[in-house]
């Protein structure tokens, strides 16, 4: 999930930004991304461009591939990810779930939606408002779910403006 702050620390968090996700359980939308990452042939990769070429069969967006490949690091003669890819893939079912506890976050919350994304839909608004009663939303036009990678400058400006006002 793309959380800028986590609800477990609610007593210390005074505001929160949530990037293109609603507090609901989601259907599988990233298996193809995980497949592409898991099927990378590290023996044939000499640089990120070659890794991006391999990933292009699974991930259309060059910006998303570039974002994911920022975590690709050379270790000796081989490449590896800085994140635990196997752990993320194995736990994807739990990651895309939402363990609603009945608690609310009463402080200011900014939900930023990708205009072309189907992650935050009008049907989610009652659920968002029930759990985040002080929520506001911004939409980044012509952007999908990976808005922080696709429109990084706009996303960062919205986040900075929100936190600076709080």
Per-residue pLDDT tens, the chain, 166 aa: give them. Answer: 444 444 444 468 889 999 999 999 988 888 899 999 999 999 889 999 999 999 999 999 898 899 899 999 988 888 999 999 999 999 998 888 888 888 899 999 999 999 999 999 999 999 999 999 999 999 999 999 989 889 999 999 999 999 998 6
Q: Where in the chain are all domains bearing CATH 3.40.50.1820?
A: 7-26+100-165
Report whether 105 contacts 15 (CB < 8 A). no
Handedness of CA 100, 8, 156, 15 (dihedral sign): positive
Q: Which fold has domain 7-26+100-165?
A: Rossmann fold (3.40.50)
Shortest CA distance to 133 belongs to which of 106, 98, 101? Answer: 106
């Amino acid at each position: 999930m793309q959380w800028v702050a986590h609800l477990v620390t609610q007593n210390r968090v005074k505001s929160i930004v949530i990037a293109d996700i609603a507090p609901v359980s989601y259907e599988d939308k990233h298996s193809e991304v995980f497949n592409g990452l898991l099927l990378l042939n590290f023996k044939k990769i000499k640089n990120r461009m070659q890794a991006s070429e391999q990933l292009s069969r699974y991930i259309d967006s060059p910006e998303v591939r570039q974002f994911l490949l920022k975590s690709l690091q050379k270790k000796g003669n081989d490449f590896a990810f800085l994140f635990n890819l196997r752990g993320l893939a194995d736990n994807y079912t739990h990651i895309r779930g939402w363990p609603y506890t009945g608690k609310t976050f009463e402080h200011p919350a900014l939900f930023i939606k990708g205009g072309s994304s189907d992650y935050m839909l009008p049907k989610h608004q009652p659920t968002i408002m029930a759990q985040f009663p002080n929520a506001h939303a911004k939409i980044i036009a012509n952007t999908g779910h990976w808005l922080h990678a696709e429109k990084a400058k706009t996303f960062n400006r919205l986040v900075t403006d929100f936190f600076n006002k709080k």
